[in-house]
Amino acid sequence: MNMSTAKVRQIVVSDKLCKACYLCIWACPWGVLEIKEERNWRGIKKPYAAKIEQCRACRLCELYCPDFAIQVVVDEEEERKILEVEERYERKWFDRLKKRDEIISKGVWWL
């Protein structure tokens, strides 16, 4: 999960797939999602993005949804830039881990 945040354009909850288990609401650490008062055509009160400006695009709601009924839509260009920066830093970190493993495999254990 990234700590950088992309601008969230929309949070889409599918009328066909959502069964109103509300795991997405429970999973959101920022309280973005709330329950709609009116029922949809299936008779359920589905979640909606009440505070979308507080969304950090962590996508925990997507991950916790057992039915793949929710999707966080972000600005693709902005997200691509964030991922490029993260990849640069992760590559350095993985190189350090690889070097550490090489040293340990040679019998040096105090690192």
* pLDDT tens digits for range 16-37: 999 999 999 999 999 999 999 9
The list of the chain residues with pLDDT below 70 reads 1-5, 79, 82-83, 85-86, 88-90, 93, 104, 107-111
DSSP string for 7-69: PEEEEEE-TTT-----HHHHH-TT--EEE-SS--TTS---EEETTGGG-----HHHHH-TT--
pLDDT in the model for residue 109: 56
pLDDT in the model for residue 57: 87
User: Would you say the C-alpha torsion 59, 72, 20, 69 has a positive or negative sign?
Assistant: negative
Provide the residue type at 25 as one letter: I
pLDDT in the model for residue 5: 67
Rounded CA-CA distance 11/16 in Å is 15
| Residue ranges covered by each domain of the chain | 7-74, 75-111
At residue 94, what are phi and psi to the nearest 5 degrees? -65, -35
- Only one residue has tokens 């839509």, namely 73
pLDDT in the model for residue 77: 73
Q: Among residues 85, 31, 87, which one has the least CA distance to residue 58?
A: 31
Q: Which CATH architecture has domain 7-74?
A: 2-Layer Sandwich (3.30)
pLDDT in the model for residue 32: 95
Rounded CA-CA distance 111/108 in Å is 7
pLDDT in the model for residue 43: 92
